């Protein structure tokens, strides 16, 4: 019996761990310094957020709402550029990682810098994803699912109203 457990552990390390390393190296990219979150949080009162954001932005970014699919600003945007947080201007996603998921929301297969987005387990019924928020201002962005395209297999499904698009010059 002891040999069986040793065999199982050995199999785990020989099969699972190398595959994880391959997957991680294929899905991560070097985060450019100008996009990296510096760790300094933006903390405002609810009143300050209401003055800074539109009513729809406040509903989504601060209250965790969701905008309607296909009736938003960026789901079909194909221009090259950077998507920033609408609340604090932290760079979040690049058009290079954007794809048409058919969901009606902007979808990305990777963040511009993984540390720029925070992930939290979703406790909503029937959700298999994780909640995605901005690392700087804690604004709600959308959800992360594991049904995206290669190489990452990720689908960041993001509310357009949570984003500000900055086109490339």
pLDDT, one tens digit per residue, over 105-123 is 999 999 999 999 999 986 6
Split at pLDDT 50, 70, 90, the class of 4 is: very low
Confidence of residue 8 (pLDDT cuts 50, 70, 90): very low
User: To the nearest whole number, what is the mean pLDDT of the chain?
Assistant: 85
Q: Say whether the peptide bond before residue 74 is cis (omega within 30 degrees of 0).
A: no
Rounded Cα distance between 95 and 58, Å, is: 24
Give the mean pLDDT of 148-169. 96
Q: Which residues are catalytic?
A: 157
Q: What does the pLDDT look like over 50-91, one tens digit per residue?
A: 999 999 999 999 999 999 999 999 999 999 999 999 999 999
pLDDT at 121: 83
């Amino acid at each position: 019996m002891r040999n069986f457990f040793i065999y199982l552990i050995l199999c785990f390390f020989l099969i699972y761990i190398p595959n994880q390393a391959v997957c991680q190296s294929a899905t991560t990219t070097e985060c450019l310094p100008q996009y990296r979150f510096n760790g300094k949080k933006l903390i405002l009162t609810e009143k300050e957020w209401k003055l800074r954001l539109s009513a729809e932005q406040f509903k989504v970014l601060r209250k965790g709402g969701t905008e309607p699919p296909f009736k938003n600003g960026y789901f079909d945007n194909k221009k090259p550029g950077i998507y920033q947080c609408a609340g604090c201007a932290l760079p979040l996603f690049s058009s290079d990682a954007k794809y048409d998921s058919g969901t009606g929301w902007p979808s990305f297969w990777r963040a511009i810098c993984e540390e720029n987005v925070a992930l939290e387990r979703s406790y909503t019924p029937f959700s298999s994803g994780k909640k995605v928020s901005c690392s700087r201002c804690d604004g709600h962005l959308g959800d992360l699912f594991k049904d995206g395209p290669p190489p990452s297999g990720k689908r960041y499904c993001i509310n357009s109203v949570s984003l500000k698009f900055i086109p490339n010059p």
